[in-house]
Amino acid sequence: MPRRDREQTRRRLLDAAFVEFAAYGIAGARMERIARIAGYSAGLVYTYYGGKHELFDAVQAEVVDVEFDAADLPGYAARCYDRQHEHPELARLATWRRLERPDQVTRAAEVEAIRHAQARGLVSTRFSAEQVLMLVLAIASMWSNARPDGSDHSSRRRAVEDAVRRLIEP
């Protein structure tokens, strides 16, 4: 019997779960469909992730993960924009998370890093650290579903960086 490649199995499960969660949200997603898309049994999905919420968290951490640097919020926003440009379905995943898990705080480390950058004078204190983070993320995702202005990717990316730079200027 051939040995299973754990990393390949994990990757296939995460990819299948990303598709399922983006389409159906947490409540509508089915572990059986995820397993079928990945080509495995539902039992294996539970073995790897324990349950649907743990799998959703793993998808969020894997797919949404973008290098965060509070001292370079314009760069962070540009990287977020790039990720959403590469994966437009991330907007749906984020919407499902907001709808189905509104109380879950997952960005405490980023908020604390922004507070520290504010204390060092690198980021404006016009807004709270929480507000800065939410505004940066909103700016980064503003073109995730539509591009009504006709601009290309690189000019939109520069606009994201410039908007965030102006937002955080001390």
Report which residue type is found at 32. Answer: E
Query: CA 45 to CA 102: how far, in whole Å?
Result: 25
Band (92; pLDDT cuts 50, 70, 90): confident
Angle at 62 between CA 168 and CA 97, to 5 degrees: 70
Domains and CATH numbers, the chain: 6-63 (1.10.10.60), 70-168 (1.10.357.10)
pLDDT for residue 30:
95
Mean pLDDT of the chain: 88
Full-model pTM: 0.77
Average the pLDDT over 47-71 and give the result.
88
Average the pLDDT over 67-95 and give the result.
89
- Mapped onto helix, strand or coil, the DSSP state of residue 111 is helix
